[in-house]
A and B are shown apart, each in its own frame.
Chain A
Amino acid sequence: MTDIGWIELALTAARPQALGALLRYFRDLDTAEEAFQEACLRAVRTWPDKGAPRDPAAWLILVGRNSGVDQIRKRAKNEPLPEEAAFSDLSDAEEDIADRLDNAHYRDDILRLMFVCCHPDLPNTQQIALSLRIVSGLTVPQIAKAFLVSDAAMEQRITRAKARIARAQSDNTPGDKGVVGFEAPDAYERAARLKTVAAMIYLVFNEGYSSGVNKPDSIMFCEEAIRLVRILLRIFPSEAEIMGLATLMLLQHSRAGARFDNAGQIILLEDQDRSLWDKKLTAEALAMLDKAVRHRSGGPYQLQAAIAALHARAEKFEDTDWWQIDLLYQALEHLQPSPVVTLNRAVAVSKAEGPQEALALIETVAGPLDGYFYFHGVRGGLLMQSGQTAEAREAFDRAIALANSPAEAAHIRMQIDKLGEVGT
């Protein structure tokens, strides 16, 4: 690895902590980002000769804070002085920062930085784009390419999202929905932030996982989400649901190399070559789930992780413990009722009991899922298994009309071809 390559990795690793602290000082995302940027430029200039500091984040915070203060002073020559309350802690800017970093501020700093990207008014895609830009530090062209939009369009999207956050901060009073406080949150607020941030991280992951193709951009979303959840786990090591989320993403990502064939067609779980599953990720995930289970406080991420773990533990598809999976889905239905969960349970029921039982189960969610590709795909498959060829074809046609990607449509066409073989 070159010097610059190493420095870039160190800057990316230090980013959430350093930028989070700068956001707390300046209470303004743009100022904090400029200050961090300036600190990074100086790091690239000085680290190759002097060597990297032992604590890169502390170095970046100190340098960034000084440069941010300089910027504010320069601006102040043309503008009236900002009120003292506009930024905190500036009086002790020269103080030894290492001491200050020990006092656990950084945990809330990182959480706050992630949380500002989850503003409730921002649509999911903007939350994802914003967190990739702000927390992960990806460039606008990198994000634009992954979302298949132009650089200009992505730049505009991110600028708008930031403006939306800034407006909410200035228009409303602290405590209002969508206003992020800069004081250390209480335990209740911290738990709420953690939950929101976990959902955002899973959104980032799913943006890659469900894109339906195995290209570097979708892999990037998944790997970045895993990096973010590891950061969360380091600062909140005892949160069983965060362990569950980490397990879930590691297991889903472990199958990345087996989910698509060379032509980009989807390969279903039952047909995947399990030797292509990433053993390292699977092992880490199972170790993580063991840790989570010891807490005896279940939750939706842990249940989904436990289901994924049963698939990971089965050496062959035939070895899958469908009965356990059905039970776990029942628990999930109880905790987080949703037609999609019921649909997933139906797949387990079809394996454990048979297609008729599964068909009866999915009839209960036919209404809410009528516009859902996966519903008609599963229903078609179940009808095919129970020999109802004509009905199966109808369901598959409906699925193709609702497909979200060419790969999904192609997969259903393959099913229809099988139907032809059954029929003749």
Chain B
Amino acid sequence: MLYAILCYAHEETVFAWSREEEAAVMEKLHAVQAPLEKAGKLGPVGRLMPTTAATTVRKGRDEPLVLDGPFAETKEVLLGFYTVDFETLDEAVAFAKDLSAVNPGSSSYEIRPFYVFHPGQITASEAIV
């Protein structure tokens, strides 16, 4: 089974880390990932920018709403994600609007840029399991 592991934390604290603290945490996290990487079991790993860099496209009654900031509702939960390489935020917003147009019912798409992205080693065929 292929799993997504999603990391939630207090960003006020995380972004107040000094460079040294940050480097120390990253090293420890990397050590935890290393055996999986060695075994060829690690898929994409990403580090996201703070929520201040986020934009949310929310399906409204008519035209989808484009809101600044992260998705903050508690009724809806995370059901999936896309990783796409766009030139501009406008392109990302247009893509999210297209997704919401064909997605029945209420849906929101949070657009958040990556700081770091490692594509990982898992191939598409394995991912269909």
Contact = CB atoms under 8 A, between A and B. Distances in A.
Contacts of B93: 294
A230 B69 CA distance: 12
Nearest to B115: A280
Nearest to B87: A290
Interface in A2-35: 5-6, 9-10, 12-14
A221 to B, nearest CB: 15
- Interface range, A side: 20 to 34
Contacts of A227: 15-16
A238 B68 contact: yes
A9 B115 CA distance: 22
Nearest to A294: B89
A82 interface: no
Contact of B25 (A1, A10, A246, A288): A1
Interface string B74-118: 000000000000001110010000000000000000000101000
Contact of A246 (B17, B52, B113): B52
A340 interface: no
Interface in A270-294: 280, 283-284, 287-288, 290-291, 294
A31 to B, nearest CB: 25
A233 interface: yes
A5 B16 CA distance: 12
Interface residues of B, number: 25
A322 B37 CA distance: 46
B10 interface: yes
B80 to A, nearest CB: 22
B53 A284 contact: yes
B89 to A, nearest CB: 4
Contacts of B88: 290
B42 interface: no
A237 interface: yes
A9 B17 CA distance: 8
B108 to A, nearest CB: 15
Given A280-B115, A290-B90, 16 more contacts: A1-B21, A1-B24, A5-B21, A9-B13, A9-B17, A13-B10, A230-B52, A231-B12, A234-B51, A234-B52, A234-B69, A283-B115, A287-B49, A288-B52, A290-B89, A294-B55
Interface of A: 1, 5-6, 9-10, 12-14, 227, 230-231, 233-234, 237-238, 243, 246, 280, 283-284, 287-288, 290-291, 294
19 contacts: A1-B25, A5-B21, A14-B12, A227-B16, A230-B50, A233-B52, A237-B52, A237-B68, A237-B69, A238-B68, A243-B68, A246-B52, A283-B49, A283-B115, A284-B53, A287-B53, A291-B53, A291-B55, A294-B90
